Structure 1
Amino acid sequence: MTLSAAFSPDYFTARHRFREVVDRLGWTRETHPIEARGPQGEELTIDVALSSAGDPAQTLLLSSGLHGIEGLFGSAVQLAALERWAATSPPPVRCVLLHGLNPFGFAWHRRFDENNVDPNRNFLLPGEPYAGAPKGYARLDSLLNPRRPPSRWEPFRLMALAMIARQGLPALKQAVAAGQYDFPKGLFFGGTGPSAMHRLLDEHLPRWLAGSGRVVHLDFHTGLGRWATWMLLIDHPLSDRHRAWLTDWFGADRFEDGSSRGIAYDARGGLGRWCVSRQLAADYVYACAEFGTYGPIQVLGGLRTENQAQHWSNPAAASTIRAKQRLQELFCPQAESWRTYAVEQSLDLITRALRGMRQA
């Protein structure tokens, strides 16, 4: 199988392929349905694979599809890794693979879930309120979240460039994407309480990771950064030891945390910080493996148009279909060169993590 062949055309094909190779490996597979249904009324599920061998004191956790449509890429990485292990041998550590964490977004070509929640803004810690918005978001609401069906003739790019000229790109990114809890139909909405996915992970992660002293968690994402580049984004405080591990395994210039912001921004409710806060292992290192696709204005424009279509247009309308097809291209480009590079680099990240876990 070529690396680009690991990509599936849709959620249902990706899920079937994931299940097939997990069963072929003889691993334990769990299926967790959600209440929402697919475009044709299909059952939507979060699927979990647990390796049958390997040292349970160390766990490699690979997750995909937190942001729905980005699961086309993350699923391809998981499939390629599983196929490689089926052809050779599984890693000597326990492996846990979470497939399609946001199956609604995956199936409906959305980044957000069935309640318009951005899952990576929903994992607030106990005591943190599901309320508020970044300074400036309310002022941008009419630009970001127009309450009408999408049109081909909206001058969003010009308006966004004008806003960047006035505020600067870092400030605009922070205002737009950091996470908001006051505009339920708006972009980057964090919800009004823990989502179904949040509750499922809260219930089952302790069981999946039981007995682990060390967990290395790679969560695969796309859409941030330059075309065909990658960066590991860390949303939780790093100890000196964990920083040394990341530096040794991946390179000092290959990860960003709160002390070294480059392509990212400070966001509320991130999965990584929540996982680490649960103290499920003495050493829990989470990294968002972010692969760049298109430019930030194109990506934001695509999110805006798809969100318009989802809330203010007919699901069968040509404009809705175009918006969702465009969103898929923005977060999972068709270019074979991008697909080959992204999966190749992801497999290398997994190899580096496994090597580091054995040596550390």
Structure 2
Amino acid sequence: MFHSEDSFSANYTEARRKFREAAADAGGELDSWLHPEAGPDGGEIFTDVAWIGPSAATKVLVLISATHGVEGFCGSGAQVDLMRRGEVTGDADDLAFLLIHAINPYGFAWLRRTTHENIDLNRNWVDYAQPMPVNEGYRALHPALCPAVWTDETRAAGELALQTSEREIGRDATRNAYGAGQWEYPDGLFYGGTAPSWSRQTQTAIFDRWLGKARKVAIVDYHTGLGPLGFAEPIVTAPVGSPAYRRARSWYGATTRSTAGGLSVGARIEGDGLTGAIKLLPHAEVTPMALEYGTLPRREVINANREDNWLHSHGDPRGDGAQATKGRLRDAYFVDRTDWKGMVIGQSLQVFRQAVSGLSED
């Protein structure tokens, strides 16, 4: 008997196996991209792709997991569930599905939000031929958020810096200060990098290979870590009133929010993958959306990221205490409970059907 909870996995290796098995059972055409780094067990890690549907389809629904690596536990489970329950099929004449599994396999395997370059992939889609954005707000917070030593005292000092900032400039402005992205501190949080990361280059190659014939594209990029426990907010980065925003709002409903409008649980970020996708597909009508599931309170999530960032910048990811740090980061992005997983599956299924309906409109 099929159980949705079985679609989730305990680690990257198990998730990859389940994805490839489900894609093969669904009649998918599989491909993979080998990552230059190894996983924590020394094994190879990959970004895998499944194309399900007519090769010449002009309408394509793209499902992406693990943009922020450790968030892949959620996204992979949702992808596998949709294939196992028979929602993803090749039956339609002009509709296909492109499932991208673990676009950031390093972060998924190592339980990191970032890539092996310490890059936040969702801040990496900027034009590196132009001057990088300057985030003065992050510059002021960086010393407290990313100390050279990690103790109860330095953790508390970072929390105090955030609280002080919230009193002085407000909660939303503080959220944007530390979360919008920064291109100045390679050992810092939400780092955008100095060049396209391996994951960005791989996603570009995947889009070039599979979406050249597409004329209407919907993208659902699975994310976790922000918002009320289990609730999934459909997030777009397109400006309020733009065609992409209006389409997303009409497809996914009134809970759809734009980071550009300041009402989303997400920060007003730069270099995000949704905007990047639109630029990669100038020949198509693109409706990109990030489905953001809530987990723990925001302060617990940011502290888990701070601790993991310290571990990889100043500590030993294989040393004593590393497993506990990794466990806290995993818990910040994946709630290993039946009720939470059920909310992931139910809302994923709803959004999937809404996207298919939207793509099918003339």
Q: Same fold (TM over 0.5)?
A: yes
Rounded to whole Å, the distance in 2 between the matches of 1:140 and 1:257 is 22
Question: Where in structure 2 are the equivalents of 1:248-263 lying within 5 Å?
Answer: 248-263=250-265
Conservation of the 8 A alpha-carbon contact between 1:132 and 1:182:
no
SS at match of 1:226: strand
Range with bigger deviation, 109-118 or 317-326 = 317-326
**2:37 is the counterpart of 1:31:** no
Conservation of the 8 A alpha-carbon contact between 1:217 and 1:286:
yes
Rounded to whole Å, the distance in 2 between the matches of 1:186 and 1:44 is 25
Instruction: State the partner residue of 1:22.
Output: 23
Structure 2 gaps of 5+ residues are none
- Label 1:11 to 1:151 Cα distance change in 2 as closer, same or farther (>3 A): farther
Conservation of the 8 A alpha-carbon contact between 1:215 and 1:285:
yes
SS at match of 1:224: strand
Aligned-residue offset at 1:174: 0.9
Rounded to whole Å, the distance in 1 between the matches of 2:317 and 2:244 is 46
Rounded to whole Å, the distance in 2 between the matches of 1:124 and 1:74 is 24
Conservation of the 8 A alpha-carbon contact between 1:105 and 1:112:
yes
Instruction: State the partner residue of 2:42.
Output: 41
Matched to 1:134, the amino acid is N
Rounded to whole Å, the distance in 2 between the matches of 1:179 and 1:240 is 23
Conservation of the 8 A alpha-carbon contact between 2:262 and 2:268:
no
SS at match of 1:354: helix
The percentage of counterpart residues that share the same residue type is 27
Rounded to whole Å, the distance in 2 between the matches of 1:84 and 1:309 is 39
Instruction: State the partner residue of 2:175.
Output: 173
TM-score normalised by structure 2 residue count: 0.92
Instruction: State the partner residue of 1:109.
Output: 111
Match of 1:123 among 118, 122, 125: 125
Rounded to whole Å, the distance in 1 between the matches of 2:139 and 2:102 is 32
Range with bigger deviation, 179-188 or 333-342 = 333-342
Conservation of the 8 A alpha-carbon contact between 1:246 and 1:255:
no
Rounded to whole Å, the distance in 2 between the matches of 1:133 and 1:327 is 28
Rounded to whole Å, the distance in 2 between the matches of 1:113 and 1:122 is 10
- Label 1:254 to 1:132 Cα distance change in 2 as closer, same or farther (>3 A): closer
Question: Where in structure 2 are the equivalents of 1:1-360 lying within 5 Å?
Answer: 1-53=2-54, 56-85=57-86, 89-90=89-90, 92=92, 93-125=95-127, 127-129=129-131, 131-150=132-151, 154-155=155-156, 156-237=158-239, 241-360=243-362
Conservation of the 8 A alpha-carbon contact between 2:245 and 2:258:
no
- Label 1:251 to 1:307 Cα distance change in 2 as closer, same or farther (>3 A): same
TM-score normalised by structure 1 residue count: 0.93
Conservation of the 8 A alpha-carbon contact between 1:246 and 1:252:
no
How many residue pairs align between the two structures? 358
Matched to 1:136, the amino acid is G
| Coordinate RMSD, CA, aligned | 2.1
Aligned-residue offset at 1:151: 5.1
Matched to 2:38, the amino acid is R
Aligned-residue offset at 1:279: 3.0
Rounded to whole Å, the distance in 1 between the matches of 2:10 and 2:172 is 34
Structure 1 gaps of 5+ residues are none
Rounded to whole Å, the distance in 2 between the matches of 1:69 and 1:197 is 14
Aligned-residue offset at 1:23: 1.4
Aligned-residue offset at 1:147: 1.0
- Cα displacement string for residues 19-58 of structure 1 (whole angstroms, at most 9, x for unaligned residues): 1111122211001001111112111111000114387110
Matched to 1:112, the amino acid is T
Rounded to whole Å, the distance in 2 between the matches of 1:139 and 1:285 is 36
Rounded to whole Å, the distance in 1 between the matches of 2:270 and 2:221 is 17
